[in-house]
Amino acid sequence: MQNIINILDKNGLIFAFLVVGVIMYLSFLIGKKVTNNKIPAAAIAISFGLFIAYFGKGEKGIASIPAFSGMALLGGSMLRDFSIVSTAMGASFSEIKKAGLAGVISIVLGIVIAFFVGGVIAYFMGFTDAKSLTTIGAGACTFIVGPVTGAAVGASSEVIAISIAIGVIKSVFVTIATPIIASKIQLNNPHTAMVYGGMLSTTSGVSAGLAATDMKLVPYGALTATFSTGMGCLLCPSILYYIVQQFI
């Protein structure tokens, strides 16, 4: 037994690949069999991650257990930001022109509104420092923008965890609510799908929500949502953080 643990300790990153692979597999299975693909597997997997973090001791979640230390490397800021940047391959400026003015406005407004609504609520619920408010506001954009912003401004691990949770709840909420209210917001054409993707930013939620509404609309919403996520990573830790600092 001790031998096995020694090997896992020494090969932390490789063991992390295995652990995350198993989590992803189980999440897809649960997503398919239990929720009938109604909840995005990504949201289930991230919730799974937050859940196992609970069993660690303190600041570093599961990585506080030596065998799982590689999780901190795989999920550390370097690999995280690197893989997030790569998702920009799903976006293209020549494509975004088709979204027109409404699309561009939705990309910026989706971030700014989610950020300030999130920040104001957090303020009234007892968070008072600029770093925490900025991170929580960023979490209201997506579960990517939250931790990217939190790491950039130096927020605490606890607040970053809250920002991830906000993003995950948003993703699930968007997925479930979209098919229900699609007809009320006239979400039945590519133009509205692009505005919808920009306003809601969460690529996983937008893709799953549109898939449940009308498969043909998925690429339109996913495109602006990807742009919106990038816009969030750009604006939240910079201009929006600066504005929050002026108020606090």
Partner 1 sequence: MKIYGVAILAACYLVGQFIGDWFGRVFEMSGNLGGVGFAMILLILLNDYLNKKKLLVPETEQGILFWSSMYIPVIVAMSATQNVKAALTGGWVALIVAITATSVCFLLIPLIAKINRIKN
Cα-to-chain-centroid distance, residue 51 = 16
Kindly state the smallest distance separating residue 214's Cβ from partner 1, in Å.
15
Which of 5, 88 has the CB closer to partner 1? 88
Rg (CA), the chain: 19
**Of 7 and 52, CB closest to partner 1:** 52
Of the two residues 212 and 234, which places its CB atom closer to partner 1 in the complex? 234
| Pick 3 or 14: Cβ nearer partner 1 | 14
Of 7 and 13, the one with the shorter C-beta distance to partner 1 is 13
How long, in residues, is the chain?
248
Q: How far is the CB of 224 from partner 1 (least distance, A)?
A: 11
Nearest distance, CB of residue 164 and partner 1, angstroms: 5
Nearest distance, CB of residue 173 and partner 1, angstroms: 5
Q: How far apart are CA 144 and CA 46, in angstroms?
A: 11
Spatial distance between the Cα atoms of 199 and 142, rounded to a whole number of angstroms: 11
Comparing CB distances to partner 1, the nearer of 3 and 59 is 59
Residues 122 and 146: beta-carbon distance below 8 Å? no
Least Cβ distance, residue 37 to partner 1 (angstroms): 16
The CA distance from 248 to 238, in Å, is: 16
Please report how close the Cβ of residue 3 comes to partner 1 at its closest, in angstroms. Answer: 25
Which tokens hold the place of 125? 């619920």
How many CA atoms lie less than 13 Å away from 29 in the CB half-sphere? 7
Q: Which of 132, 139, 145, 101 is nearest to 118 (CA)?
A: 139
The answer to whether 101 touches 195, Cβ cutoff 8 Å, is no
**Residue position matching structure tokens 């009308």:** 214
